[in-house]
Structure 1
Amino acid sequence: MTDPQIALMMLGLFIVFVFLGFPIAFTLMAMGIGFGYYAYFDEGRMWRSFNRLTEDAGWWDQTSLWVEGFFNNRIFDLFVNQTYTVMSNEVLTAVPLFLFMGYIVERANIVDRLFSTLNIASRNVPGSMGVAALVTCALFATATGIVGAVVTLMGLLALPAMLKARYDPSFASGIICAGGTLGILIPPSIMLIVYAAASNVSIVRLYAAALLPGLTLVGLYLVYIIGRSILQPSVAPKPTKEDIPDVAFGKLMGMVLTSFLPLAFLILAVLGSILLGLATPTEAASIGALGGILLAFIYRAMTWQRMRESVYLTVRTTAMVCWLFVGSYTFSAVFSYLGGEHIISEFVQSLSLEPWQFLILAQLIIFLLGWPLEWSEIIIIFVPIFLPLLAFFNIDPLFFGILVALNLQTSFLTPPMAMSAYYLKGIAPPEIKLTQIFSGVMPFLVCVIISMALMYAFPQIVFHLPEAMYGK
C-alpha cells in the first residue's frame, strides 16, 4: 500500500472506532502514535541504540537499550511538542475561564428570577411564556455556552410552567431545545474560541461576525413563536392571572433591575471589552468569571459545595477539549505527512465545484457528522480537513466559521441524534414523549436552515460588523 492509501485507511479506521464507542481523544492519540510510528520510522535511528549492545552487557542494560531503540522515533517527539503547543495556546486559555463563569452563573439561582421577570414583562405578547423562555434561554446560553446545562435547567424551570399554562407539549419542548443551543453561536461562545484556535482566525473578528447571525436566528425563532401563537392560539393560550399575576409597574422595574440587568450587564461587559479592544478574550473571560462569583454572592447563592462543583466541571470539560486538541493535532500531522490531506484536496478540486457548491457540500457533511458527534469533536477533528481547501475556492475562513456555527445548531436539533431533545427528555414529565419533542424541534430546524440561506444570499450579515469595527 502507498502512504496516501494508508492515510485513508487511518481515517476510515478512526470513523469505525468512533461508531464503536471508543473515547475519541484517546483514539486519536493512539492512532496518531501508531500510524506515526510507521510514518516516521527511521531504521538507522533504531539500530544506533541496538548497536551499543555487547555480549557482556547485563540484562538491565540490554533491556534499557532495546527500550531506547524502540522509542527512538520522531512520533514521540511530535506528540510531546503537540501537547506543549496546545497547553500553552493563549487562545485556549479563555476556555476554562468562560466555562467557570458559566457554571457559576448556572448555580447562582439567576435563571429562575430572570424567567419570572420576563414572563411578567411580556404577558401581553402572543405566546408570552414561550417568548420569555426563549429570551431566558438565549441570555443564559450566552452566559454559559453549555447546551446540556441550559436545556436541563430551563426544562426544570420553564417547561412545567408552560405545561401548567396549557401550552402544547410539543411547542413548549421545541422552544427550550432550540433556545438552549444558542450559546454555541452567540458570543462569547466557547465554540468560536475553539474554531479560532483550529483555524488561526482572529477570535475578536469571529465574535463581531457572529453577532448579527446570532440575533437573526433569535429573531426568526421569535417570529415563529409569536406567529404560530397568533395563527394557532390553542398551542399557547393567553395566560390567566393565576398563571402570571398582575404586578405594579414599579415592582416590575425593581424585578428587572435585580434579575435581568445584572446578567445582561455581565455579558455586555465581557463581550464589549473584547470587541472594543479593551481586553483580550482571556482577560475578558477572567472578568466574567469574577463577575459570576460576585453575582453568586450578591444573590446569596455561593456555597463551598457549589464552588467545588463549578471548579470540578470546569477542569473536566477543559481537559476534554485540550486532549481532543492534542489527539487531533497528532492525528492530523501524521495524516498530512502520509499524504492524506493532499489526496483529499486533489479529489475535491477534481470535482470542479463552484464555491457555493463546495460550501453546501462541506455544510452537508458537517450536518451529517452532527448526528453521532459533539460540536467540539467536529470543530477539532473534521473542520481542519476543509480549511486548506478554502483558499482554493476563495472562501473567507471567517465566513466559513460562522456557517459552521449555524450548522452546528442542527446537530443538537436533528433526529434521531438530537442531543438537546434527549437532555430535555431526561428531566421532562413522563407523559412527554420523545416523538413530541422531535416534532416540536422541527420548525426551529427550518429557521436554522433559513438563517443559513440568508448568510449565503447576504454575506454582509457576517462581514458588516468586523469590517465596520476593524476594517477589511
Structure 2
Amino acid sequence: MSDPQVAVAMLLILLLAIFLGFPVAFTLMALGVAFGYYAYLNPGRMWRAYERAVEDGADGWTLTEHWIGGFFNNRIFDLFVNQTYSVISNDVLTAIPLFLFMGYIVERANIIERLFGTLYIATRHIPGSMAVAALITCTLFATATGIVGAVVTLMGLLAFPAMLKARYDISYASGVICAGGTLGILIPPSILLIVYGATAGVSVVRMYAAALLPGLLLAGLYLIYVVAKAVLQPQVAPKPTRDEVGHYSVLQISWMLLTSFVPLAVLILAVLGAILFGLATPSEAAAIGALGGVVLAAAYRALTWKRLKESVYLTARTTAMVCWLFVGSATFASVFAYLGGQQLISDFVTGLDMSPLMFLIVAQIIIFILGWPLEWTEIIVIFVPIFLPLLAHFEIDPLFFGVLVAVNLQTAFLSPPMAMSAYYLKGISPPHVQLSDIFRGMMPYMLIVILCMVIIYIFPQIVYGLPNLIYGG
C-alpha cells in the first residue's frame, strides 16, 4: 500500500471506531501514534545502531537497551509531546474552562425558574405565551452556559411540565425546548466559536461578531414560527385563563424583570461587549464572566460549597475532554497529512470541478450527516480541518464558512435518529411522552435552520456587517 492509501485506511478505521462507540479522544491519539510510528519509522537507522553495538562487543543487556531505545527513537513521540504542549499552552483555549465554569455556576443558581415565570407573565397576551417564554429563557440560558444537555434537561424539568399542564400539544412544547436549548453553541459567547477559531486560525473576536446576528436571526425565526403556529392552530397552545396567569400590575412585572431577566442579561452583555469592543480578550472576559456568575449566585443566595464544588468538577471534566480531543486531533491530522491523506482528498475534490456554491452545499451536507453520530466538538476538531485547506481554492472566507457550520450544527441535536436533544428531554419527561412526539416537534426547526442558512448565503452582510462595522473590512 502507498502512504496515501494507508492514510485513507487510517481515516476509515477512525470512523469505524467512532461508530462502535470507542472514546474519540483516545482513539485519535492511539491511531495517530500507531500510524505515526509507521510513517516516521526508519528501520535502517535502528539496524545500523544495533550492528555498531554488536561490533563494539556489547553484552545482551546492552543490546536489549539498544533495541528498546531504537523502538522509542521515533519522531511520533516527539510530535505527540509537542502537540500536547501546544494545546495546553494555547491562550485561546484558556477561555473554555472559564466560560464553562460561568455556565455551570449559573445553572446551579436557581435563576432560570424565576426567569421563566417572569417571562411567562410578561408575555401572557402573546399567542403561545408559555412557549415564547420558554424559548426566550432557553436562548438566554443557552447563551450563558453553552451546554446543550444542561439547558434542555433543566428546561425540560421546569418549562415542559408547565406547558403540558397548560394543555399544550406535546410535539409543540417539546420542539420549543429542544430547539431553544441548542442556540447556545451559536450565539456568543459560544465555546464552539472558540474551538473553531483555534482550529481554523480565525480571530475568535471576529467570529463572535460574525455569529451574533445569525444567532439572533435564527432565534427570531424560531419565535416567529412559535407564535404563528399558535395563531394558526390555537389548539396546540390554549390561551391561559385569568385565574391561571393571575393579575399583575406594570410595576410588579417591571420589578420581576429587573430582578430576574436583567441580571443575567447584563452579565452576558458585559462579557460579550468587553470582547467585541476590545476592552478584554476572550480569556479575560471569560474570567469576568466566571466571577460574575459567582456574584450572581451569591446575590440569589444559591452559592453553596456543594454547588461550587460540583461546578468546578464539571468544568475540569469537560475541559479535559476538549483539550485531549484537541491533542488527539492534532496528532492524527499531522500524521494523516504526512502520509499524504490531506493532499489526496484535496486533489479529489478539486478534480470534481465544483463551483464554490456546490462545494458549500456538499460540505454542509457532510457536516449535517456527521451530526447524527457525533458531538459538535468532534466534528469541529476532527472533520472541519479536512475542509479548511480547500476553502482557499474555492475562494470561501473561513469566517463565513465557520458561521455556516455553527448554524448547521444546530441540526446535529435536532435530526433523528441520533438527535441528542430529544434523548435529553425524553430522559426527564413523563412516561406518556413518546420519542416520536419529540421528533415530530423538532422537524419544523430543522427546516428553519436550513432557511436561515439560505438567508445568510443570499445576504452575507448578516455575517460581515458587524465585524466590518467594529473592526473594519
Q: TM-score by structure 1 length?
A: 0.98
* Counterpart for residue 143 of structure 2: 142
* Counterpart for residue 286 of structure 1: 287
The whole-number CA distance in structure 2 between the counterparts of 1:321 and 1:59 is 45
The whole-number CA distance in structure 1 between the counterparts of 2:362 and 2:143 is 29
Q: How far does the alpha carbon of each residue in 1:304-336 deviate from its partner, in whole angstroms, 9 at most, with x for none?
A: 111111011101110111111100000010000
The whole-number CA distance in structure 2 between the counterparts of 1:303 and 1:51 is 67
Q: How far does the alpha carbon of each residue in 1:59-104 deviate from its partner, in whole angstroms, 9 at most, with x for none?
A: 6544433221100000100000000000001110000000000000
* Counterpart for residue 50 of structure 1: 50
Contact 1:45/1:73 (CA < 8 Å) preserved in 2?
no
Letter in 2 for 1:155: G
The whole-number CA distance in structure 1 between the counterparts of 2:217 and 2:277 is 22
* Counterpart for residue 4 of structure 2: 4
Contact 1:7/1:335 (CA < 8 Å) preserved in 2?
yes
Q: Does 1:386 align with 2:370?
A: no
* Counterpart for residue 94 of structure 2: 93
- For the residue of structure 2 that corresponds to 1:92, the secondary structure is helix
- 1:44 positional shift: 4.1
The whole-number CA distance in structure 1 between the counterparts of 2:242 and 2:46 is 81
* Counterpart for residue 219 of structure 1: 220
The whole-number CA distance in structure 1 between the counterparts of 2:150 and 2:94 is 22
The whole-number CA distance in structure 2 between the counterparts of 1:368 and 1:326 is 24
The whole-number CA distance in structure 2 between the counterparts of 1:452 and 1:198 is 22
1:352-431 equivalences under 5 Å are: 352-431=353-432
Tell me how large the CA RMSD over aligned residues is.
1.2
The whole-number CA distance in structure 1 between the counterparts of 2:231 and 2:336 is 54
The whole-number CA distance in structure 1 between the counterparts of 2:138 and 2:144 is 10
The whole-number CA distance in structure 1 between the counterparts of 2:384 and 2:141 is 27
* Counterpart for residue 299 of structure 1: 300
* Counterpart for residue 67 of structure 1: 68
Letter in 2 for 1:7: A
The whole-number CA distance in structure 2 between the counterparts of 1:354 and 1:217 is 27
Q: Does 1:244 align with 2:249?
A: no
- For the residue of structure 2 that corresponds to 1:167, the secondary structure is coil
* Counterpart for residue 309 of structure 1: 310
Letter in 2 for 1:33: V
* Counterpart for residue 171 of structure 1: 172
The whole-number CA distance in structure 2 between the counterparts of 1:208 and 1:2 is 44
The more displaced of 187-196 and 57-66 is 57-66
* Counterpart for residue 160 of structure 1: 161
Contact 1:49/1:68 (CA < 8 Å) preserved in 2?
no
* Counterpart for residue 321 of structure 1: 322
* Counterpart for residue 38 of structure 2: 38
- 1:50 positional shift: 2.8
Letter in 2 for 1:424: L
Identity of aligned residues (%): 69
The whole-number CA distance in structure 1 between the counterparts of 2:169 and 2:154 is 20
Letter in 1 for 2:467: P
Q: TM-score by structure 2 length?
A: 0.98
- 1:150 positional shift: 0.1
The whole-number CA distance in structure 2 between the counterparts of 1:191 and 1:331 is 20
Contact 1:48/1:69 (CA < 8 Å) preserved in 2?
no
The more displaced of 193-202 and 252-261 is 252-261
The whole-number CA distance in structure 2 between the counterparts of 1:39 and 1:108 is 51
1:288–1:61 distance in 2 versus 1, CA, 3 Å: same
Letter in 1 for 2:13: L
The whole-number CA distance in structure 1 between the counterparts of 2:61 and 2:239 is 82
Q: How far does the alpha carbon of each residue in 1:119-156 deviate from its partner, in whole angstroms, 9 at most, with x for none?
A: 10000011100000000000000000000000000000
The whole-number CA distance in structure 1 between the counterparts of 2:344 and 2:64 is 41
- 1:242 positional shift: 3.7
* Counterpart for residue 459 of structure 1: 460
* Counterpart for residue 15 of structure 2: 15
The whole-number CA distance in structure 2 between the counterparts of 1:221 and 1:58 is 76
The whole-number CA distance in structure 1 between the counterparts of 2:93 and 2:45 is 36
- For the residue of structure 2 that corresponds to 1:243, the secondary structure is helix
The whole-number CA distance in structure 2 between the counterparts of 1:461 and 1:355 is 19
The whole-number CA distance in structure 2 between the counterparts of 1:48 and 1:266 is 64
Gap regions ≥5 residues in structure 1: none
- 1:471 positional shift: 1.0
- 1:42 positional shift: 1.6
* Counterpart for residue 348 of structure 1: 349
The whole-number CA distance in structure 1 between the counterparts of 2:44 and 2:21 is 38
Letter in 2 for 1:82: Q
Contact 1:266/1:291 (CA < 8 Å) preserved in 2?
yes
* Counterpart for residue 253 of structure 1: 254
* Counterpart for residue 107 of structure 1: 108
The whole-number CA distance in structure 2 between the counterparts of 1:153 and 1:49 is 62
Q: How far does the alpha carbon of each residue in 1:224-280 deviate from its partner, in whole angstroms, 9 at most, with x for none?
A: 000011111000011123432212222211111111000000000000000000000
- For the residue of structure 1 that corresponds to 2:407, the secondary structure is helix
* Counterpart for residue 183 of structure 1: 184
